[in-house]
Amino acid sequence: MGERAIKVEGLTKRYTIGNQKSGSFRESFSALLRKRAKPIDFFALKDVSFSVDKGDAIGIVGRNGAGKSTLLKVLSRITEPSSGRIEINGRVASLLEVGTGFHPELTGRENIFLNGTILGMTRREVSSQFDAIVDFSGVEKFIDTPVKHYSSGMYVRLAFAVAAHLDPEILIIDEVLAVGDADFQKKCLGKMEEVSKNYGRTVLFVSHNMTAVSSLCNKGIMLKSGMVSEIGTAADVVHKYLNNEDEGLTYYKNWQADDEIHHDGVVQMHYVKLVGSDGEDISVAKISESIGIELSYSVKKDGYKPIPNIHLFTEKGEKVFVSVSPSKMEYTKAGTYKSRAWIPPNFLNQENYIVGIAVSTLSPVVVHASDYRCIYFEVMDDLLSVTRNGFTGRIDGVIRPLLDWELIDCN
């Protein structure tokens, strides 16, 4: 400890909106002719400073749009900062996704080499790790089959296996653990833990999964609107993040047209709120009653088939479910719509939940608008609820569904 791995000073990344230089000749020419609309500067990162010691595992948390991904991109040298300075001591590997460069026509073997060299390894390094990578992935039988024939699970396992065998001094990871099945996720978390604790590597980890951040990291950084709002131990930062007073989450949320949650001009979300079974607004939900999540949104362009979907999380950041509105119900004409999703009674537990909302087109997947932390609500228990069946203590679990039980008398 004590030796410095990363030092960031006054890091700023500015994007200019409304005057994007990418475009066409026509735009460039017409921009010369007419008076330019005043470009709006948007600061994805603003004067960010921190330092990381060797062997630290740092969790970077913050809401969508807080600048986490931009910070990782700048640290990984994918894009240059507008100002500020970063000093990195040590070999860096950054994993902003798994399987970068994978080509469906190439075999598993070929993709391991391609992906490995993209991640910064040499051919020789990949060769020496090859058996271990194949072993970790569990796809040995299909290693000479083009990956287009792989199931998505196999694909992800192979991709992660390559990443897991990088041997960097500094590892930068963005949400890549949000893939694969539970067993595989466990394996990946284990690998990360091994890297940071046993080998004393430095890890920077961005995640919405607060459980993972608290268990893997010793320090935390919280970003808010592109600025550092909290630096401290991982536990403290996770606590601050989950303490929603800070974020003002409540049982409804309104958005403006120019909010960052709108990723393209196709969909604008107006509000989301909690409603009771009679359609009235509610602020707390009762465990034995239906809970409605009402979303109002506008489709701005014809020809799209945007579908609302709900992402429910516990307060700790564990995902409870994703529910997608059945597509045949949806309209394709521009206009304003209101959707209501009903969570059945006796389904959730006595817990605090956070609702995320997105409106997306499904195939191919395009997320038009999304806010994965928009409302916060508590479910009030009822000691007489049918799922208690008389029991009065605390019942663990993310949900507490009413199941069909059978009792067969075998006497």
Partner 1 sequence: MSNVVIEAGRNRLMLNIRELWRYKDLFWLLAYRDYRIRYAQTALGFVWAFIQPFATLLIFTVVFGVAAKVDTKDIPYPLFAICGMTAWTFFSYVLSNSSNSIITSQQMVKKIYFPRLIIPLSKAVVGIIDFFIALLFIVILCIYYKFVPSANIIYLPLFAIMTIISSLAVGIWMSALTIRFRDLQHVVPFLVQLGLYATPIAYPAEMLVTSLPKWATVVYFINPMAGAVEGFRWSILGGQPPNDYIYISFILVLVLFVTGLFYFRKVERTMADIV
Residue 280 binds to partner 1 (criterion: CB under 8 A): no
Beta-carbon contacts of 204 under 8 Å, excluding residues fewer than 6 positions away, are 6, 52, 58, 60, 72, 75, 170, 171, 172, 173
SS3 61: strand
Q: What is the DSSP letter of 250?
A: B
Q: Which stretch binds partner 1 (CB under 8 A): 83-91, 237-245, 257-265, 274-282?
A: 83-91
- State the Cα–Cα distance between residues 343 and 67, nearest whole angstrom: 33
- State the Cα–Cα distance between residues 351 and 287, nearest whole angstrom: 10
Given candidates 43, 50, 113, 372, which one binds partner 1 under the rule CB under 8 A? 113
Residue 29 binds to partner 1 (criterion: CB under 8 A): no
Residue 271 burial class via C-beta count within 10 angstroms: exposed 0-12, middle 13-18, buried 19 and up: middle
Decide: 206 and 175 in contact? Cβ < 8 Å: yes
Residue 46 binds to partner 1 (criterion: CB under 8 A): no
- From residue 232, alpha-carbon distances to 60, 61, 269 in Å are 11, 12, 35
SS3 338: strand
Residue 83 binds to partner 1 (criterion: CB under 8 A): yes
- State the Cα–Cα distance between residues 222 and 66, nearest whole angstrom: 9
Determine how many CB atoms are found less than 10 A away from the CB of residue 129: 20
Beta-carbon contacts of 189 under 8 Å, excluding residues fewer than 6 positions away, are 177, 212, 215, 216
- State the Cα–Cα distance between residues 231 and 229, nearest whole angstrom: 7
Residue 91 binds to partner 1 (criterion: CB under 8 A): yes
Given candidates 46, 73, 208, 368, which one binds partner 1 under the rule CB under 8 A? 73
Residue 24 binds to partner 1 (criterion: CB under 8 A): yes
- Indicate the residue among 88 and 222 with the shorter CB distance to partner 1: 88
Q: Least distance to partner 1 from the beta carbon of 265, Å?
A: 18
For 373, phi and psi rounded to 5 degrees?
A: -140, 90
Q: Least distance to partner 1 from the beta carbon of 22, Å?
A: 4
Q: Least distance to partner 1 from the beta carbon of 86, Å?
A: 4
- Indicate the residue among 100 and 233 with the shorter CB distance to partner 1: 100
Given candidates 31, 86, 249, 324, which one binds partner 1 under the rule CB under 8 A? 86
Residue 89 binds to partner 1 (criterion: CB under 8 A): yes
Residue 123 binds to partner 1 (criterion: CB under 8 A): yes
Given candidates 18, 39, 101, 344, which one binds partner 1 under the rule CB under 8 A? 101
- From residue 406, alpha-carbon distances to 63, 165, 178, 409 in Å are 44, 49, 36, 10
Given candidates 33, 105, 302, 404, which one binds partner 1 under the rule CB under 8 A? 105
Q: Least distance to partner 1 from the beta carbon of 110, Å?
A: 7
- Indicate the residue among 128 and 283 with the shorter CB distance to partner 1: 128
Residue 78 binds to partner 1 (criterion: CB under 8 A): yes
Given candidates 40, 118, 380, 395, which one binds partner 1 under the rule CB under 8 A? 118
- Indicate the residue among 40 and 402 with the shorter CB distance to partner 1: 40
Q: Least distance to partner 1 from the beta carbon of 226, Å?
A: 15
Q: Least distance to partner 1 from the beta carbon of 119, Å?
A: 7
Residue 76 binds to partner 1 (criterion: CB under 8 A): yes
Question: Which residues sit at the interface with partner 1, rule CB under 8 A?
Answer: 15, 20-26, 28, 73-92, 94, 96-97, 100-101, 103, 105-106, 110, 113-114, 117-120, 122-123, 169
